[in-house]
Amino acid sequence: MRDLQPKRIVVKVGTSSLVLANGKLNLRAIGRLAYVLTDLCNHDYQVILVSSGAMGAGRDMLHIKERPTEIPEQQALAAIGQSRLIGIYTREFAEYQQIVAQVLLTRDVIIFPESHCNVVNTLNAMLAKNIIPIINENDTVSIDELDHKTSFSDNDELSAIVAEITQADLLIMLSDIDGLFTANPHKHPEAQLISQVPVIDDQILSYASGRDSSFGTGGMTTKINAAQRILKNHQQMVLANGANPEIIYDILDGQEIGTLFSNSVVSKKQ
């Protein structure tokens, strides 16, 4: 058993957990996620949701099968999809009388001291009122231009940064894989799941794999990069399969599910 004991939790859900293989939104998964996170709030956890899926939702609405290559087209799809996605989240959470709020961030907001302070104060005010912030990158204005960097590399990085600035106790990263393996389990059935990672060394870095989903933007490399930030700040992160959001209950109950990135927690025998 794991002794995590978090109070403030960041949950990151990837596009692969929100968008079906046929490009349609996974409404059942979104509904389950709303139920679980509301229940956590009812049990006095403070919860922040970092959600991908905006571009996937936009592609679904406009019946576009392939991700466009032009940046303005991607940003337009993300804007359309974000509107739909937050509408669905608001409706699903309202089923349980849970208030949510949309927060769209760019990297410069985090970097500049005054805006950084404003973001932290806003998120803390929401959490104090039992409101769940739903955070995504502001894709319509996020660009890499000269030395004015406004975009995050991906939402894996964004979730780790949110965990850092809010001093969260635990980041739960839900993906389409069961955790960190010694090799890509989709290609190597003999790959072994790694239960706990206390430090990111060359061996762990070598386990990183490429993209596995046409709708997602990152692979295992981005998750390990996020874990590096978490470990540097002496925080905790669990990478697990988000097919059923109720897995969050098992994680918080201390079950050894997925991969725990922590340099302080030691598993205990039942």
pLDDT of residue 268: 53
CA distances from 229 to 88, 110, 132, 160 (A): 31, 15, 23, 7
Is 129 labeled as ligand-binding?
A: no
pLDDT tens digits for 13-47?
998 899 998 999 999 999 999 999 999 999 999 99
pLDDT tier, 153 (very low <50, low <70, confident <90, very high otherwise): low
Dist. CA 208–CA 33, nearest whole Å: 27
Domain boundaries, the chain: 8-261
Looking up tokens 């939402």 gives 155
Q: Is 140 annotated as a binding residue?
A: no
Q: What is the reported pLDDT for 143?
A: 55
Asked if residue 24 belongs to a known ligand binding site, the reply is: no
What is the percent of the chain where pLDDT is above 70? 90
| Residue listed under structure tokens 């890499």 | 144
Average pLDDT over residues 107-129: 92
Listed in sequence order, the residues at least 6 apart from 128 whose beta carbon sits closer than 8 Å to its beta carbon are none
Is the distance from CB of 176 to CB of 216 less than 8 angstroms? yes
**159-172 pLDDT per residue, tens:** 999 999 999 999 99
Q: How far is the CA of 50 from the CAs of 9, 13, 172, 175, in angstroms?
A: 11, 6, 10, 12
Higher pLDDT: 246 or 268? It is: 246
pLDDT at 265 over 90: no
Q: How confident is the model at residue 145 (pLDDT cuts 50, 70, 90)?
A: very low
**Has 139 been labeled as part of a binding site?**
yes
Q: How many residues does the chain have?
A: 270
**Residue 178 is labelled as binding a ligand:** no
Structure tokens that stand for 42 in this block: 């009812």
Angle formed by the axes of helices 113-128 and 155-165, to 10°?
80
Tokens for 221, please give them.
């490399």
Burial 98-117 (b: 16+ CB within 10 A, else e): bebbbbbbbbebbeeeeeee
Tell me how far apart the alpha carbons of residues 207 and 151 are, in angstroms, rounded to a whole number.
Answer: 26
Residue 269 annotated as part of some ligand binding site: no
Is residue 219 a known part of a binding site? yes
Q: What is the pLDDT of residue 107?
A: 83
pLDDT tens digits for range 83-116: 999 999 999 999 999 999 999 998 887 888 999 9
Query: Is 106 annotated among the ligand-binding residues?
Result: no
Q: Is 176 annotated as a binding residue?
A: yes
Tens digits of per-residue pLDDT, 191-209?
Answer: 999 999 999 999 998 887 5
Question: In this model, does residue 57 exceed pLDDT 70?
Answer: yes
Query: What predicted TM-score, i.e. pTM, was given to this entire model?
Result: 0.90
The reported pLDDT for the residue numbered 259 is 97
Work out the pLDDT band at 217, boundaries 50, 70, 90.
Answer: very low
For 34-62, what is the mean pLDDT? 95
Pick the more confident residue, 110 or 134: 134
Q: Are 170 and 4 in contact (CB under 8 A)?
A: yes
122 is in an annotated binding site: no
| pLDDT at residue 246 is higher than 70 | yes
Say whether pLDDT at 270 is over 80: no
Is 155 assigned to a binding site?
yes
**Residue of higher predicted confidence among 184 and 242:** 242
CA distance 79 to 74: 9
- Is the pLDDT score of 125 beyond 80? yes
Which H/E stretch holds residue 151? none
Phi then psi for residue 254, to 5 deg, are: 95, 5
Q: What class has domain 8-261?
A: alpha beta
DSSP 121-140: HHHHHHHHTT-EEEEEE-TT
Helices first, then strands: H and E counts in the chain? 10, 10
